[in-house]
Amino acid sequence: MIRSATLFSPVLVMLLGIAPARAQMNGGVKGIKVENLPNFDLRRFHFGFLLCYNTSDFFMKLDPQAYTRDSVLVVDHLRKPGFNLGIVGSLNMTTHLSLRFIPSLSFQDRVLRYRFRKTDGTPVVFEKPVESTYLEFPLLLKFRSDRINNFAVYLLAGGKASIDMATQKDVNNAVDDEIVIKLKKFDYSAEVGGGFDFFLPYFKFGMELKAGFGIPNLIINDDTRFSNPLQSLRTKVYVFTFTFEG
């Protein structure tokens, strides 16, 4: 009986040793998730890139006297889709607060639809596309929650300066059917939004929804029947973004 116990002891020790080893090879104890990128927040700077889908529009204010001195009946503004490409630079100030500089290129498209009354009383409709290619320089504060395993939520707030690289402010609007809506080259706006961070094994993936509201009036009134009814045009854009940071 004593001999059997003596032979059994080494086998029991081997089995007890193999169990923890197999648990480690399989990624830890069952039910406990592995934390990806555990030292990500300890680094001072992070860099990455972003891809965005945007829909852009205008805050439009009409001249109150436009309907009394011209044949214009209605002016509508229509949203159109576009996209952004950019790079991300992030400075971690605390565990939960970071400063983000995101220079990007934004392709935006809007349409202004005019309905005029002809001399015989019948209506005529013109659609004027307003296309812009903005070089943008957003500076945003990001406030992030604590990590829950490999997930976190955050809020964004800040502003951006924009330069329209495709401005048509110097176009000669001599032909009525070819008249373009002229906008100023420089814009600046406030931005707010929020999103989610997902810590993957090799990089951090983010999804965010953001809104930008232009501050200055961009319309250039060159005394055409398309610019005269407009008292002000300010930009408005909604952006859905995917970020990739290492």
Q: pLDDT tens across 138-183, in order?
A: 999 999 999 999 999 999 999 999 999 988 766 766 655 678 899 9
| Position 108 pLDDT exceeds 90 | yes
Name the band, by pLDDT with cuts 50, 70 and 90, for residue 65: confident
Which two three-digit tokens encode residue 57?
């529009």
Residues 97-113, mean pLDDT to the nearest whole number: 96
C-beta of residue 53 within 8 angstroms of C-beta of residue 221: no
pLDDT at 91: 97
Tell which wins on pLDDT, 227 or 70.
Answer: 227
Residue in 131, 112, 129 with CA at minimum distance from that of residue 74:
112
Q: Tokens 């998730």 sit at which residue?
A: 33
* Domain 37-245 CATH (choose: 3.90.440.10, 3.30.70.141, 2.40.160.20, 3.40.50.2300): 2.40.160.20
Residue in 110, 112, 136, 113 with CA at minimum distance from that of residue 123:
113
Q: What is the DSSP string of 144-175?
A: E---BTTEEEEEEEEEEEEEETT--TT----S
Please, where are the H alpha helices in 63-190? 66-69
pLDDT at 225: 87
- Cβ within 8 Å of residue 22, ≥6 positions away: none
Q: Tokens 């814009």 sit at which residue?
A: 187
Query: What type of residue is 136?
Result: E
Q: Tokens 């929804």 sit at which residue?
A: 209
Percentage of the chain beyond pLDDT 70 is 83
Please, where are the H alpha helices in 26-111? 66-69
> In this structure, what are the phi and psi dihedrals at residue 33, rounded to the nearest 5 degrees?
-80, 145
| Position 199 pLDDT exceeds 60 | yes
Helices and strands in the chain, H and E counts:
2, 9
- Cβ within 8 Å of residue 118, ≥6 positions away: 71, 124
Percentage of the chain beyond pLDDT 90 is 68
C-beta of residue 54 within 8 angstroms of C-beta of residue 239: yes
Q: What is the tens place of the pLDDT at every residue in 175-195?
A: 556 788 999 999 999 999 999
Q: What is the tens place of the pLDDT at every residue in 5-57?
A: 443 444 333 434 434 434 443 444 555 678 999 999 899 999 999 999 999 99
Please, where are the H alpha helices in the chain? 2-25, 66-69
pLDDT at 167: 81
Task: Name the burial class of residue 130, with classes exposed (0-12), middle (13-18) and buried (19+) by CB atoms within 10 angstroms of its CB.
Answer: buried
Q: What is the tens place of the pLDDT at every residue in 74-91?
A: 999 999 999 999 999 999
Q: What is the dihedral angle through the alpha carbons of 43, 49, 54, 58, rounded to the nearest 10 degrees?
A: 70
pLDDT at 169: 66
pLDDT at 99: 98
Predicted structure pTM score: 0.81
CA separation for the pair 200, 87 (Å, rounded): 19
- Cβ within 8 Å of residue 158, ≥6 positions away: 100, 138, 139, 140, 141, 190, 191
> In this structure, what are the phi and psi dihedrals at residue 43, rounded to the nearest 5 degrees?
-80, 140
